[in-house]
Structure 1
Amino acid sequence: MRMKPVGERDPVAVGIAGLLVLALVGLGAYRADSLPFIGGGTAYSADFTESAGLADGDEVRIAGVKAGEVTGVSLDGNKVKVDFTVEDAWIGDSSTVGIAIKTLLGDKYLAVDPLGDAPQDPDSRITVSRTTAPYDVTQAFDGLGETIGEIDTAQLARSFETISATFKDSPPDVRGAAEGLSALSRTVSERDAQLVRLLKGSKQLTRTLADKKSSFETLLKDGNLLLAEIQARRDSIHLLLTGTRDLGTQLTGVVEDNNKQLKPTLDSLGRVTAVLVKNRRSLDKVLSLTGSYNRLIGNTLGSGRWFDNYVCGVVPRNYLPPQEPEVPGCMPPKQGGR
């Protein structure tokens, strides 16, 4: 049977068919994540009584191994609907899903326990009877702090003491229990202020940790980068350490090889030093006289190529002019050598 060319077909029918094809292609592109062999896994949903801090992008783990992620957390009536995807993992029709605590800073993840004989229908939502949510410790401390603040501990202590007095004639077991309650009430009453401060401090600590969550994460990431860099430079650090060790070995050998030549030289230097120390006073006197002598030589030769000098007592006194003053200690020698 010969097929009609497109040009001979009804243009209205061809246009409608083309629009349907384009709509299917657009829908496929929009829901590409849900398509087999293309999307990011099989999509499931579960009902919880509370979200417990779970958020989009949190991990989905099966037997402790990451198998997917949470894609949505929304309120559905009096329940919380959690959408998640799982890749390359089997989930049975009796599987249980729980919100678990990942870190002390409050991160959560979705823990799936794959149970059942038949696979879970992705279009059938997992009911609340098969889901669990953790109890938030921060909320517990906050609620306990508020409750302790509203309790009249003194009145509570008097109530327990009244109970103890009422059961004082009861059997030993009952009387012991009542006395224990009375002692407990007195302890709580005496430690009321300390307990309130402890709970307030715990509340402040949890808030501080929550506020510094990003800082802790950055610190851990930076520490991981540092360790990775040290790992990458391990060979270089090893070569540096081995090179330093070899250098120390070579220096030790050099010292040992030259010890015979250096030892006599050092001994002679020690003897010279000892002689100099022994004649220290003579050396000091020589140095002081040398200073005066050098100054005299400098004054004599300081006029260039001429000698600048002064000779005293060469001419007799009677040959000098009358106005020439007599210089004490500078007289000519007497006749006869005396």
Structure 2
Amino acid sequence: MKPLRERNQATIGVITLVVLCLAATGAFFSKELLGNGESYSAHFTESAGLTSGNEVHAAGVKVGEVTDVSLDGNRVLVDFTVDGVRLGRQTTASIRIKTLLGEKYLQVTPRGSGELDPAKTIPTSKTTAPFDIPEAVTELTRTAGRIDTDRLAKSFRVMSKTLEGGTPEMGKALKGLSRLSKTVASRDEKLAKLLDNAGGVSKIAKERNEEVRTLIADGNLLLTELQRRKDAIDSLLRGTRELSTQVRGMIAENSKQLRPALQELDKLTGMLQRNQDTLRDSIKALAPYIRGFTNTTGSGQWYDGYLCGWVPPPISAGPVQTAPKKCEVPVPEEHNSPGGGS
């Protein structure tokens, strides 16, 4: 096998980058490459806020997602995918509320024997839509607003008089019913105001329905994008770990060739360290000479120096004495004042 250091390093680097890019791309589009399961469709009487991208659940577990919601005549056609779950011929589907903000999901209940034909649409007789509270309150407001409470109370009084000759229990019951009608009539204005307020609340909720739906859809898109980025980062980390494992294996395979080179490199660094120590000691030893030379040439156009050995040796003959002191090298001071001598 040809050692790695003898191969073209640029080619190896390009191949490694291409492999990493292909791995990251495959992980990012793994969902599209592997597919989303079997496709089915169902008819509903209304969409109830269900949109493309909502989850599909079976027995409380996510098994797919809604791919499209469109109008099919006087019905709503919902296309969805299911992965890993067998759907029988009597399978039912229903739109459920997932969160308090109104997010929906599609619930499928596998029933019956055999396999559900993906080409056949689940009919409306086997699908249900959720109960919408704002619409129900609005309808209640309309119905209650059409009730004539005065005529209702009058009807109760007439019925009470008609049955007055009956049993005492019946009479008491009818009197109680009459008092109830009077109470309802006396609270007519307050009930009407309450129903009007309820109608206003339901109207506001209906007007903000699209905004809330858009907010939820944008939140779903953000969470989906975050999940995709997470998957891509996970795939990149897995590829990095695999590359690290391969590099360690490559180093282990080429350890015999790398060990001598590392040993020589260690020797070289040791020699450089010794040379550095020698240079440091030389510079340190040169410091006194530099100071002395600086003192010698620090008097402008004059040179300060000390000449030793140019005079005859000491002579002592009675009163005649020469060079009474020995020739000693003077110790340079920290700060020398300029003096005579050349």
Q: What TM-score, normalized to structure 2?
A: 0.47
* Higher relative contact order, chain-length normalized (CA < 8 Å, sep 6+): 2
Q: What TM-score, normalized to structure 1?
A: 0.47
